[in-house]
Amino acid sequence: MIIQSKELEQRAIEQVAELMCVAARTAPKGRGTDNLVTMVVKGRTKDQIAEEMKKIAQSSGAQFFERDAKCLEKTPMVILLGQKVKPLGVSPCGYCGYANCKENTEKSGQCAISIGDLGIAIGSAVGVAAQHHIDNRIMFSVGRAALNLAIFEEDVEIAYGIPLSVSGKSPFFDRT
């Protein structure tokens, strides 16, 4: 039996994507509260995200959305990590700019610790990709497009995407 490189690489990238989601899930979280949502997106849904990114570039003038969309089109899949941002009741804190979590909630603020948890989860996920030599890049633009398309079924307010690639040259560098 012979397994060609293309099939091997596809299987490997899918396994690493799963491991990245596990690493994100097990990353430390404030007060042990898990508000993280993870998913792997490929195929038509991934293409819809790239299309939305191009629309955002057109409507906003933020051309990095177009550049990032071109990168996404060169990849087989993307990890989406989103956070349901809820005040965690850490006292004293005030990192959100409000006196306490009650004031934060009353004024529809964003909990800085909850948002920080997303950053730690992202770092854990890309660490796994790096350990397995999977090219990747953290992209705000992918997360914004996914939120616009309501891909997350849960109450996710902040999201990032991490496109993954296995190729002779990373599509995430020399971007213009």
Beta bridge partners of 176: none
- The pLDDT tens digits of the residues spanning 127-145 come to 999 999 999 999 999 999 9
* 174: confidence class by pLDDT, cuts 50, 70, 90: confident
Whether residue 57 lies inside any domain: the answer is yes
- The pLDDT tens digits of the residues spanning 34-63 come to 999 999 999 999 999 999 999 999 999 999
Whether residue 122 lies inside any domain: the answer is yes
Whether residue 105 lies inside any domain: the answer is no
Query: What integer best gives the mean pLDDT of the chain?
Result: 96
Whether residue 10 lies inside any domain: the answer is no
Total domains present in the chain: 1
Whether residue 174 lies inside any domain: the answer is no
Q: Which residues contact 175 (CB under 8 A, 6 or more apart)?
A: 67, 68, 70, 71
Q: Which domain holds residue 39?
A: 17-84+112-165
Whole-structure pTM value: 0.95
Q: What integer pLDDT is reported at residue 19 of this predicted model?
A: 98
Q: Which residues contact 152 (CB under 8 A, 6 or more apart)?
A: 37, 39, 80, 82, 146, 159
Domain with 50 in it: what CATH number?
A: 3.40.109.10
Residue 29 identity: K
Whether residue 42 lies inside any domain: the answer is yes
* 175: confidence class by pLDDT, cuts 50, 70, 90: low
